[in-house]
């Protein structure tokens, strides 16, 4: 396996502030901004990019990693701080200035996201019933999100172009002390546009996924076989 190298991109043409986006060992996406000065490193900003995606800035950028406690330290300790407190092991660091230098925060994040979306990640759903807007009126799947949690999802067409979340719950742990199914805490929407993009937006934003396309199939028994069809590897 290729060893990961931390690539820090200069934020402005002149200055000592660098930034990057990386994925942790548990699939979380982290934005990190640091300033290097007098052999010391200061973390200026750090937040999860896979939280609060549906909210407006600055709330969108407010999900700070709880384990991050060390803000200023000798520069040679940067990789050890990231490993201990941000759940990612790097084996080296590269400082660079490129086409992303000088971009505002929103534009920088959007460009990095577009580069990442060049990879295909398929959401596989099992369809049943009549069709509406090129989709069956009932869609189900078992998936793993970026937190490596196994989730059962059932969606259905409601009316007037809207879909409804019929069921969405974890199934990878035994919640013996609870009498009801456990829903992902970020899931706040019940209704959504019943389109492929509407479904992708719902699952990516509210149950921490990163799918780019939907594949609809049939003939898969989701009730007797609980193996996830798609999601985190």
Percent of the chain whose pLDDT exceeds 90: 58
In the chain, which ranges are continuous DSSP H helix? 78-85, 105-116, 196-206
Contact predicate 20/110, CB 8 Å: no
Residue 232 clears pLDDT 80, i.e. is over it = no
Mean pLDDT, to the nearest integer, of 90-115? 89
Contact predicate 15/97, CB 8 Å: no
Residue 93 clears pLDDT 70, i.e. is over it = yes
- pLDDT classification of 177: cutoffs 50, 70, 90: very low
- pLDDT classification of 99: cutoffs 50, 70, 90: confident
Mean pLDDT, to the nearest integer, of 203-226? 90
Residue 181 clears pLDDT 90, i.e. is over it = no
CA distance 211 to 199: 10
Residue 10 clears pLDDT 90, i.e. is over it = yes
pLDDT of residue 195: 94
* C-alpha pair distances (Å), 139 with each of 16, 127, 227: 50, 5, 17
Claim: this prediction has a pTM higher than 0.95: no
Span 134-171, pLDDT tens digits: 899 999 999 999 888 899 999 999 999 999 999 999 98
Span 30-88, pLDDT tens digits: 999 999 999 999 999 999 988 776 676 677 788 899 999 999 999 999 999 999 999 99
Residue 129 clears pLDDT 60, i.e. is over it = yes
CA distance 206 to 221: 25
Q: Please give the DSSP secondary-structure letter assigned to residue 134.
A: T
pLDDT of residue 25: 87
């Amino acid at each position: 396996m290729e060893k990961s190298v931390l690539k820090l991109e200069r934020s402005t043409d002149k200055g000592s502030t660098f930034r990057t986006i990386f994925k942790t060992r548990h699939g979380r996406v982290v934005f990190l901004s640091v300033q290097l000065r007098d052999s010391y490193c200061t973390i200026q900003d750090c937040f999860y990019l896979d939280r609060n995606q549906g909210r407006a800035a600055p709330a969108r950028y407010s999900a700070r990693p709880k384990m991050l406690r060390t803000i200023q330290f000798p520069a040679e300790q940067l990789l050890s701080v990231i490993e201990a407190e941000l759940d990612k092991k790097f084996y080296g660091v590269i400082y660079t200035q490129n086409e992303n230098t000088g971009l505002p925060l929103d534009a920088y994040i959007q460009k990095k996201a577009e580069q990442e979306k060049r990879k295909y990640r398929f959401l596989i759903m099992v369809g049943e019933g009549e069709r509406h807007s090129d989709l069956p009126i009932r869609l189900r799947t078992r998936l793993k999100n970026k937190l490596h949690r196994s989730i059962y999802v059932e969606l259905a067409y409601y009316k007037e172009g809207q879909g409804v979340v019929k069921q969405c719950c974890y199934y990878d742990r035994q919640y013996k002390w609870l009498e009801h199914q456990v829903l992902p805490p970020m899931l706040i929407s019940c209704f959504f546009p019943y389109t492929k993009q509407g479904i992708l937006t719902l699952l990516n934003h509210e149950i921490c996924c990163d799918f780019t396309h939907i594949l609809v199939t049939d003939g898969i028994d989701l009730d007797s076989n609980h193996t996830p069809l798609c999601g985190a590897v």
